[in-house]
Structure 1
Amino acid sequence: MAQINYRTINIDVLDPESSINFPMDTLLPGSLPEPTNSSAAASVAQQVRQLLRGGDPEGALRHVLDTAPLGGDAQAKEVHLATVIDVLQGIRQGEMLKVLEGVISGDGGTERADCLMKYIYKGMAVQSSASGSQSPSSRKTLSPQATGSGFSQVQARNFGEGGGGQHMSVLLSWHEKLVELTGHGTIVRVLTDRRTV
């Protein structure tokens, strides 16, 4: 009689109700947009910058959230994330609440609020992983900055990288205002949604 090692048998294949036999693509909604490439995301970024220069921050935020590449490749998603963060940083703190109310009111407002929350969380994750992955030798060195009054301030020189702390502060401010307007349901929907930005 042959010895069978029962520990090596994959019983999930034999179970018809197993998650292995369940098509995961049925969990995604049928309304996913067509796959987006990085050139399409770059053209959206250009349109959004024109809206910002024209003095329409609400229209810029609405447009960037409506054109999120949920079905795009990784490069398109990175370009779009940078565009969203540029828009969020381009809106003054005093205007945040008014702009958010305009963006999430009306038809499709809940979806835009959820999409904005996804970008806030992704921006926080990218920022924390970028700061945590630096080796001590590759971190920016601190150097004194003249203030003009005889005193000096010591700060990191990272002007071209968006100033890490400022970036996180902006995202946290937007998170606070968004939760204030929409409640905690947005957070739950973002954490359970399988569509990523």
Structure 2
Amino acid sequence: MSQINYRTINIDVLDPESSVNFPMESLLPATLPAPGTSSDAAGVASEVRQLLRSGDAEGALRHALDTAPLAGDDRAKEVHLATVIEVLQGIRQGEMLRVLEGVCGGSGGSERADCLMKYLYKGMAAPAQGNGAQSPRRGISPQSTGFSQIQPRNVGEGGSGQQMSVLLNWHEKLVEVAGTGSIVRVMTDRRTV
């Protein structure tokens, strides 16, 4: 009788639920939109700004979420993220719930809610712009107490702190409207914004 080294057996081949037994490209939907470019995202941004100027915040948010560049290049995704954040910052806190119910209700509402949740998380993860966080100063050492006096300016006064506050407020309202299932779907979805 021969000796079998059980540590070398590939058990994924034996498991019918394993990713080895089905193609990974089947995980992405067949209806993935065509790749977008940064010029496409800039055109969408101007349309969204026009809707915002006309006072249709719900329509602006709906249009921004419906035209998300899921298969676009990185620059297009950055431009679209800035557009969505601009829309979110342009809506007053008292109108948030009404706008979310309008955007997330009806046909395609859950997909829009999931897309908005993706943008909220991406906005929270994005490095703050304009506060010096990307280029730390060299040559300045921390104090002997272990605490450093180096910090970005305007953190709570209109800098990235204000943007984070807006995103967290939207996250709270979106969870009220869409539920926690949206968070799980966003964390497991392979399509990124």
Q: TM-score, normalised by structure 2?
A: 0.78
Find the counterpart in structure 2 of residue 66 from structure 1: 66
Distance in 2 (CA, whole Å) between partners of 1:129 and 1:42 is 19
Choose which of 181, 185, 193 in structure 1 pairs with 2:181.
185
1:33/1:70 contact within 8 Å kept: yes
Tell me the SS of whatever aligns to 2:127: helix
Amino acid at match of 2:110: T
Find the counterpart in structure 2 of residue 156 from structure 1: 153
Distance in 2 (CA, whole Å) between partners of 1:123 and 1:165 is 12
Residue by residue over 1:89-116, the C-alpha shift from the partner in whole angstroms, topping out at 9 and shown as x without a partner, is 0101111111111101110000000000
Aligned length: 171
Shift of 1:23: 2.9
2:131/2:153 contact within 8 Å kept: no
Taking the TM superposition and a 5 Å limit, the aligned residue runs for 1:49-64 are 49-64=49-64
Distance in 2 (CA, whole Å) between partners of 1:192 and 1:128 is 25
Shift of 1:183: 1.0
Residue by residue over 1:65-106, the C-alpha shift from the partner in whole angstroms, topping out at 9 and shown as x without a partner, is 000011111111111000000000010111111111110111
Moved more, 117-126 or 24-33: 24-33
Find the counterpart in structure 2 of residue 137 from structure 1: 137
1:124/1:171 contact within 8 Å kept: yes
Which stretches in structure 1 are left out of the alignment for 5+ residues? 1-6, 139-154
Change in Cα spacing, 1:130 to 1:190, as seen in structure 2 (3 Å) is farther
Distance in 2 (CA, whole Å) between partners of 1:129 and 1:183 is 30
Identical-pair percentage: 69
Please say if 1:165 is aligned against 2:150.
Answer: no
Q: TM-score, normalised by structure 1?
A: 0.76
Amino acid at match of 1:194: R
Higher-strand-fraction structure: 1
Please say if 1:29 is aligned against 2:38.
Answer: no
The CA RMSD measured in Å over matched residues stands at 3.0
Which stretches in structure 2 are left out of the alignment for 5+ residues? 1-6, 139-151
Taking the TM superposition and a 5 Å limit, the aligned residue runs for 1:70-85 are 70-85=70-85
Change in Cα spacing, 1:188 to 1:87, as seen in structure 2 (3 Å) is same
